[in-house]
Structure 1
Amino acid sequence: MSRERATALLVDFDGVLRRWDPEVVAGVERRYGLAEGALLETAMQWGRLQPALTGQVSHADWMAGVAEALTEPAGGAERARAAVDEWQRYRGEVDADVLGFVREARAGGIRVGLATNATDLLDDDLAAFGLAGEFDAVVNSYRLGVNKPAKEYFRAACQAVATPPDRVLFVDDEDWSVRGARAAGLSAHRWTGAADLRYLRAALAY
């Protein structure tokens, strides 16, 4: 039996709506004598990252932990803190094509939520990008206390857009997150780039 057409859309932030230029972090690492990939590798270690995504520690505390872990290879605590601070001043860029798609979908009657694993910095980032009013709901793992790909996360996200799971289309760039959404009963598409927008528009048919 075929599924009913989705009437709500959940879009991931990092990797879908927000893009990151890898040259920025690489430049910081070169300037501070860090090994290539050290900043992201250190920050994304799950035991360090997950507490920041679920409201156990703040973004600032997470970054302080990254700086502490980098102290030895960076040549001292002050140098490590400076490297992390410079890296964090770069907040990425909004993908104009994805933002246009979000606006089109909402104009066509689709409820759109931002569904992201994020920290307490999310609201500030959205305000800085002028995105605060672009969604019907913002579902931040930090506020929920649970992160994708947990079923509880997707249950809360569907409630936030007031739509049952089988009528929600979720878009994310991570396979594990897409699998989690499908296990929770949502339709889900793994984002690979702007070429996917044609399929997503057709899937929603707004």
Structure 2
Amino acid sequence: MASGIARKGFDAVLCDLDNVIRFYDLAALAALERAVGLAEGTTAEVGYAPELDLPLLLGRITTEEWAESIASALADRVPPDRARELARALAHAPFRADDEVVGLLRRVREHVPLVLVTNATLELERDLESMGLADLADDVVSSARVGVAKPDRVIYEIAAERAGVAVDRCLFVDDQLKNVEAAVSLGMTGVRYRGPADLHRALPQGWRA
């Protein structure tokens, strides 16, 4: 979905955070799931279900309240203390930034505005600070702060406005196909991210050195 970039061009880059820049380590959670007889990924499947996840991403509940809702949803499968342990392991999973992508995006910002567009929690600013990325972008559009989440068109329009360019002059990068398709439907150039090579291909050659 990155075809035509060189021909069309762009004047700003709008980039997702999770699974593009930030990656979570769920190994400890998987070990806990195995220990209680749950299939790996069960806790995340419960926690990221829209009815539990969306209130968090819209800033209506805290991460701790989200963890409580996960524990409640798991209580019929495992003992309550184990459910709380699983929920906390998901809610507070360690994370890291991909240095290669961070380096690329810092070079992007030397040429055009860079705006992070992310479905995130009220703790996003603290998380960026902890990764040393508080200064990575010109602006950050967080769903928890603006009250609307991808793939709603409004969050894309907010991001383009923050970048100071027309919607159809934005390059949008995200790992979720539905989010990329929503951006393309607004006239943006979309790149579905599966690895650094996707970002390399999307950028002019002179920006990659």
Same fold, TM-score > 0.5, yes or no: yes
Q: Secondary structure of the residue that 2:204 maps to in structure 1?
A: helix
**After the TM superposition, which residues 56-75 of structure 1 pair with which residues of structure 2 at under 5 Å, given as runs?**
56-75=60-79
TM-score for the superposition, normalised by structure 1 = 0.90
Q: Which ranges in structure 1 are unaligned for 5 or more consecutive residues? A: none
Q: 1:174 to 1:204 in 2, by over 3 A?
A: farther
Q: Quote how far apart the aligned CAs of 1:22 are.
A: 4.6
1:113 counterpart (115, 120, 123): 115
TM-score for the superposition, normalised by structure 2 = 0.89
Q: Quote how far apart the aligned CAs of 1:203 are.
A: 8.0
Distance 1:118 1:66 in 2: 17
8 A contact 2:44–2:90 mirrored in 1: no
8 A contact 2:26–2:93 mirrored in 1: no
Residue in structure 2 matched with residue 202 of structure 1 by the alignment: 204
1:50 counterpart (30, 54, 75): 54
Render the CA deviation track for 1:121-174: whole Å, top value 9, x for unaligned: 211211111111111000001111111111111000111111111111000011
Q: Secondary structure of the residue that 1:149 maps to in structure 2?
A: coil
Distance 1:61 1:88 in 2: 10
8 A contact 1:170–1:181 mirrored in 2: yes
Distance 1:199 1:164 in 2: 23
Residues 1:101 and 2:104 are matched in the alignment: yes
Residue in structure 2 matched with residue 90 of structure 1 by the alignment: 93
Distance 2:8 2:31 in 1: 48
Distance 1:153 1:203 in 2: 29
**After the TM superposition, which residues 117-132 of structure 1 pair with which residues of structure 2 at under 5 Å, given as runs?**
117-132=119-134
8 A contact 2:168–2:186 mirrored in 1: no
Q: Which ranges in structure 2 are unaligned for 5 or more consecutive residues? A: none
Identity %: 33
- How many residues are treated as equivalent by the alignment? 204
Residues 1:34 and 2:34 are matched in the alignment: no
Distance 1:199 1:34 in 2: 40
Residue in structure 1 matched with residue 159 of structure 2 by the alignment: 157
1:25 counterpart (21, 26, 29): 29
Poorly superposed stretches of 4+, deviation over 6 Å: none
